[in-house]
Amino acid sequence: MPPSQLALVRRLYECFNRRDAACIVELCDAAMEFFPVVTAEAVGRDAPYRGEAGLRDYLADIGGVWEELQISPAEVEARGERLLVRGRVYARSRELGIRDLPVAWIWQLRDGRFVRGEVFPDPEDAAERFARMA
């Protein structure tokens, strides 16, 4: 994997864990589409978060659902500008309890910026989808 892609992933996850909206927006394309599962379901959202406003809405939704949410990447596999990231999510909420689970993300990059991201509660589902991608 190119070191620049690994650095980009690490930076995105660090920015997310700090809830640094400006940093996240800087790393993402203006047309970014993001498909988180658990947080979106908790707020009743079925459409992806899109663009800068969507990313800011996502961070606001996190604050409304979770008292704490931290993500940790462990392994990154690259195929061109597609990335499979395996890691963990630790989340705590009065209503939803504590979750410390393996998770995976598939990211699409373009010109060094994230243009699409999807969260998979089952890392094997992500790996299977990543393997089928051209």
What beta strand segments (E) does the chain contain? Answer: 28-35, 49-50, 68-79, 82-93, 97-110, 113-120
In the chain, how many domains are there? Answer: 1
Domain that holds residue 22: 3-132
pLDDT at 42: 86
State the CB neighbour count (10 A cutoff) for residue 57: 16
List the CATH number of the domain containing 95: 3.10.450.50
Which residue ranges in the chain fall short of pLDDT 50?
A: none
